[in-house]
Amino acid sequence: MPEDNPTTAVKRRVRRGSGRVTLADVARAAGVAQMTASRALNSPETVNPDMVERVRQAVIETGYVPNLLAGALASARSLLVAVIVPSIASTIYLEFVQSLRGALASKGYQVILGESDYEHQLEPALLDALIARRPDAIVTVGAVRSKEGRKRLLASAIPVIETWDMPAQSLDMVVGFSQPAVGRAAAEYLLGEGRRHVAIISANDDRAAMRAQGFLEAVKERDSAARVESVSIAAPSTLGEGRRALADLLSRATPPDAVFCTSDMVALGVLTEAKSRGMKVPQELAVMGYGDMNFAADTDPPLTTIRADGKVIGLQAARLIFERASKDVAERVVDVGFSIVRRASA
């Protein structure tokens, strides 16, 4: 007879806990129900102040540190945000990640890092690994282009923010600016300064390619007969690549009188190479960068560059995440624009 009977008690499947202090321990120590302890910690305004005090005391006594794994599972809110950058080593997105992480941390969110590699398309495996953590949002640098990637993100129902770009078909939310417009602006600036034979040194990643495309189009529009030199370098772009790219350009039949570079680091390489050859910048060669990195104002000569404010992108992305979490209808697209920082090099 399968009757529950004390003498034929079912064998206990033993499974002891981690041995760590749990919320139940805190509740016991404070002499309240576990749920009250939970509320005292997470929404103290809904609990009698005395109880809150007792619970806080108990937390200190016991050395309790909540288990967010359990909390996230129970509440379906992980307070985790996945951030996918092309490469951790690429300095361009550092301030962005930093400001995003900081803003998120202020509301209890944590950041989990993904790396997509410039070369490979955002791999489904990477995406699945991140989705498996059930982040409350996924932030990607650049638009998600791969069909499979879009599909998985959509299926996951996790809010997505694509950044540093302005995709025609956004997945969900966007915080960025037009990459081709950056290239156009650079071309117009250099041409407007009277340069006649412009060049572009561009890395072979998605966004750099878009800038290059905008640059070339703008030059052609202004003067369909214009010659544009172009050098492609590998990402991540370094000072050395910049030096070699300029050497390449200068070895051509008609050397350029202006160069737009895919990044400030490359521009610094161009500056270095130019100076080592005794060329005068900007007289003989105008040099323009992209990124306005923290050294751009202090190069010799100071670097004219295009500034896209990573800090702002990070902050705006965080804001959208907060709004979405609180069910306020978040905007879907934020164009943070960019600006030309005019210094002496161009």
Partner DNA sequence: CTGAAAGCGCTAACAG
Partner DNA sequence: CTGTTAGCGCTTTCAG
Question: Which stretches of the chain bind a copy of itself, using CB under 8 A?
Answer: 18, 20, 63, 65-70, 72-73, 76, 78, 80, 87-89, 91, 94-95, 97-98, 101-102, 105, 108, 110-113, 115, 128-134, 152, 155-157, 236, 238-240, 243, 265, 268-269, 272, 275-276, 294-295, 297-300
Binder of residue 131, out of a copy of itself, DNA, none (CB less than 5 to 8 A by kind):
a copy of itself
Residues contacting 255, CB < 8 A, separation 6+: 197, 249
Binder of residue 128, out of a copy of itself, DNA, none (CB less than 5 to 8 A by kind):
a copy of itself
Nearer to a copy of itself, 72 or 226 (CB): 72
Which stretches of 6-146 are DSSP H helices? 23-30, 34-42, 49-62, 68-75, 94-105, 124-131
CA distance 219 to 217: 5
Residues contacting 79, CB < 8 A, separation 6+: 68, 72, 108, 109, 110, 136
Does residue 200 sit in helix, strand or coil? strand
Where does residue 19 fall: left (phi above 0), alpha (psi -120 to 50 degrees), or beta otherwise? left
Nearer to DNA, 10 or 253 (CB): 10
Binder of residue 38, out of a copy of itself, DNA, none (CB less than 5 to 8 A by kind):
DNA
Q: Which residues bind DNA (CB under 7 A)?
A: 10-18, 20, 22-24, 32-36, 38-39, 41-42, 46-48, 50-51, 64, 66-67, 70-71, 73-77
Residues contacting 61, CB < 8 A, separation 6+: 29
CA distance 257 to 346: 10
Binder of residue 14, out of DNA, a copy of itself, none (CB less than 5 to 8 A by kind):
DNA
Question: Min. distance of Cβ 222 from DNA in angstroms?
Answer: 57
Question: Min. distance of Cβ 41 from DNA in angstroms?
Answer: 7
Answer for the pair 128, 98: CB distance below 8 angstroms, yes or no: no
Nearer to DNA, 63 or 333 (CB): 63
Q: What angle do CA 109, 115, 117 make, to 5 degrees?
A: 160
Question: Min. distance of Cβ 25 from DNA in angstroms?
Answer: 8
Question: Min. distance of Cβ 317 from DNA in angstroms?
Answer: 24
Q: What is the 3-state secondary structure (H, E, C) of 128-140?
A: HHHHCCCCCEEEE
Nearer to a copy of itself, 48 or 106 (CB): 106
Binder of residue 217, out of DNA, a copy of itself, none (CB less than 5 to 8 A by kind):
none
Binder of residue 111, out of DNA, a copy of itself, none (CB less than 5 to 8 A by kind):
a copy of itself
Nearer to a copy of itself, 102 or 255 (CB): 102
For residue 283, the 8-state DSSP code is: T
Tell the burial category of 1 from Cβ atoms under 10 Å away from its Cβ (0-12, 13-18, 19+): exposed
Does residue 99 sit in helix, strand or coil? helix
Nearer to a copy of itself, 183 or 292 (CB): 292
Binder of residue 32, out of a copy of itself, DNA, none (CB less than 5 to 8 A by kind):
DNA
For residue 19, the 8-state DSSP code is: S
Question: Min. distance of Cβ 157 from DNA in angstroms?
Answer: 12
Question: Min. distance of Cβ 217 from a copy of itself in angstroms?
Answer: 31
Question: Min. distance of Cβ 64 from DNA in angstroms?
Answer: 7
Q: Give the residue from 121, 170, 151, 119 showing the smallest Cα distance to 320.
A: 170
